[in-house]
Amino acid sequence: MEAGAIAVLDALVGFDTTSRRSNLELVDWVVAHVERHDARVRVTYDDTRTKANVLASFGPADAAGVVLSGHTDVVPVDSQDWSTDPFTLSERDGRLYGRGTADMKGFVACCLAAVAGISEAELKRPIHIALSYDEEIGCFGVPRLIEDMLRHEAKPALAIIGEPTGMRIGDRHRGYCGFRSTFTGKAAHSSDPSAGASAIYPASALVAMLRSMSEGGARRAGRTTFNVGRIDGGAAMNIVPNLCKVIWEFRPAPDEDVAGLRGMIEAFIARMTPANVGHATEVVAWVPPLPRDPVDEAIAIVETCGGLGPSAMMPFGTEAGFFRDAGIPALVCGPGSIEQAHQPDEWIAVEQIDSATRFLGRVATWASAGQAASPG
């Protein structure tokens, strides 16, 4: 049953789609594959036109269907000790090795292998296969994909993000919000600091505040967390620093007031920065959290298709929050283990490919049955 998916996975792993590279060769392969099965295909590019999303739709365009969402990019293999070529699929002892097998070309391969059956089904609800770029470095592709989809297709009833959960249903997760705060002061000789304006002092106040907030919630499960990842500032010990940059993040809990938290931190920066020091904060990554909104009906659909319950909070972020913010109920459920993701000798079990293949077959049955139907 899984042989077709493994063959597709072999092709997908062969494309080096590390986020710093173009994914267009893989996109061209996918487009040719789904067009052979009469998909409605939409391709949306990044501003450089070196990366692209693919949306392949089957069934009626005017009905609310299901989105099967995955990403095409993978993390680097630099400095990792692989025992095999990371961009050549290899199989040993029921495991399929290669970069992206777990995260998440395994799920993508299962979706693409399923299109032959999907295209032949008499769908009453559409099935959309949505493949995005640059998920690993900030989910930059999926907002453009969703915007384009909603302009040309009916709003879906459900999005299933196939990140590796061992086919367990994830109904909530934290987000990821990254920032760069730049403080601009005035350089001066350190023999008379009053002649200058230190950019480091207000930057250090921000760092101390973020540390305090992090320690205050350190032992709460599902908490919002904070981190300062990088500080750059100053030129020499005897020069009042005129520039300092702080790269920092918070990972909001599913129920966090993200806008309110961001506003509170920016208000603190404004209050603690002297009038003779400039400051600006820019967003460098923005992945919204996935709250557990009322999704009981969506969970029931995914469970009847073979997703494993009970639903749970996922320990990692996904594209699901973008679908939810667009008014599309979203869940996370896919083959493989997150523990294998980003690791040397990344692998996915063949039985997980088999489980995902059966799951997608039931999704097609649900879409063919129409309103209030169960795939059985």
Q: How far apart are CA 345 and CA 101, in angstroms?
A: 10
The closest alpha carbon to 290, from 307, 310, 314, 308, belongs to 314
**Structure token pair of residue 16:** 């080096």
Q: How far apart are CA 67 and CA 148, in angstroms?
A: 14
Burial of 331 (0-12, 13-18, 19+ CB in 10 A): buried
List phi, psi (to 5°) of 371: -60, 135
Q: How far apart are CA 170 and CA 150, in angstroms?
A: 24
- By annotation, the residues acting in catalysis are 73, 135
Which residues, 6+ apart, have CB-to-CB distance to 319 below 8 Å?
Answer: 69, 71, 132, 135, 139, 142, 161, 287
Q: How far apart are CA 74 and CA 91, in angstroms?
A: 19
Beta bridge partners of 287: 176
The closest alpha carbon to 286, from 183, 148, 143, belongs to 143
